[in-house]
Structure 1
Amino acid sequence: MRILIVDDSRAMQTIVRRGLEKAGYQDMEIRLANDGIEALDIIRVWEPNLVLSDWHMPGMTGMELLTELNRQMLSINVGFVTTETSNSRINQAMSAGAKFFVHKPFDLETLHKAIVPFIPSQSGPPSKEQDETEEQGSKRDAMDIVLPNASAYSKVVNGFTNQEIFVESIEPIPMYEDNFPYLLGLFSDEAQQVVRAVCILDIQSASVIGGALLGMDGESVRRIIASKSLPKELIGACQRMYRVTSAIMRNQSTGHDLHMLSANLVTQSFPKLELLFQKPASQRVDFEVAVSGYGQGNVTIVAS
């Protein structure tokens, strides 16, 4: 059981750590970080089972840390141990995937009740057989997600624009450095608040689709592509398209349509993104989208 404590107060780090040690969890490893930036560096390498974070910290707050973990699709359980009591902020964090809030000052029983659901039932590193079982389970979960074909995707994106967007199925494409930034849409099943599908727009497809939705002229769209920078209004247009796209993705095992969790602009590669582009054709669809006078780009939708 690996737990990362994130707090800019050394005294509070010690209090939380001692509370965990007194609870007597087996095979527990604890590491400390002074802010969200340091926590991210540790998380990428150490991959803790649980992060216990303060909210108010210099450099990067706990909420900003949670947002960045979501953006990088790092599936880490995050709970807050904080003085923050604002209902709006608590709701914001819970909507973003926070697992619980423990308010300072706290007692050992309160801390234990919050974290016990996230303690692995079996201590120690997973065996080879466990790794294989989890990998097979992940593949089965991905196969449960119904992704749109080119015809369905075309109907959705063309239902909200006067500019015709041509959509054509293509073979799976790799990630290209020249296609950054990518705009990632994360989708979940309403019954399972985990990412079940990711829609990836490269700079060209985001500009083409967003430009068509906004009724932009061809010169403006080509200028955006050349600048390698997506303006806010264009990102907003793509977010609206993502919300509609969720209606044509479905979890067969639960019978629910997926819904958009967030849209995140990614300016450089990270491991989870590279893994998405390595998914087999059975777990993804790839399209080329084009608008006359705009150019063309690539769309990849991956079940996860």
Structure 2
Amino acid sequence: MRLLVVDDSRVMRQIVTRTLRQAGHGGHEIVEAENGRVGLELVASHRPDLVLSDWNMPEMTGIEFLEALRAAGDATPFGFITSEGSSLMRVQALQAGALFLIGKPFTAESFALHLDPVLGRGAHAPVATVAVEERVAGHTGLPERKEARDLLERLLARDCAVDSAVGHPVPGDRRTTTAELVGDDGHLAALFVADHELVVRLGACLSLTPAPAAEGLVKDGETTPPVESAFSEALNVFTSLFNGGGGPHVRLGRVWFNAAPPPEVLAPMEGSLTRDDMVVTVSGYGAGRLSVVLPATAVATSGAA
């Protein structure tokens, strides 16, 4: 059988392919596309038996891709694999004709559960319903350390540790990467602040960059496009810790590698004491520091509730 994997992250397409193999579906032909527009062309030319698509992609999103297929009378089986999964998205997926929606980070077991019925192996779940994998967390505050560790271990497929850090990386420092977590209405929900060591070591692991090469980048204070892309994908998946339980839906926004974000991004953080400073250790690659900071406005809103 032929499967079409659609995701704007090359790293994530590789992880999807790896997980397919782990779930017992490694014998299928895999075709890849970087967005819905290319995916639409490949459905017409390659006639896949199943499409596995991300939701948020440039040029054409996953839901636009699915809607375009169905509008053209194409009934190719279609499922979403995404770091997001708000109630609205789930309803949209069902109404547009998706068979399932699997949240990142996914497992071989979740793949087998949703793909086996479609690909003719077993009958774990009925087809033509949206089956949504449970989110790692059910709150919108700071994630629990164990949740963060479990998420990273599933994403990286190797042992990780998440412990308390002494000190924290400072946004705007030359060797610091800052990323924003934003709500659907555009409000700033949180900041991720990572030191250079974590960006390189975690990004290198996810992009399959050898550990010795990663240590060279750490020493030289440099990164590479694959490492930065992989680290962004890791943060994107990390946002799943903030979604669930009926709280506001959030997503990864802009990322500033080794650069200061605009002052208006940092302003809401002034006076905020709601943060978690942690050391993340990736087996075989080493450790780095990550801070998750909630803005003072979010803390006040949470307290008022």
TM-score normalised by L of structure 2? 0.45
Highest CA radius of gyration, 1 or 2?
Answer: 1
TM-score, normalization: structure 1?
Answer: 0.45
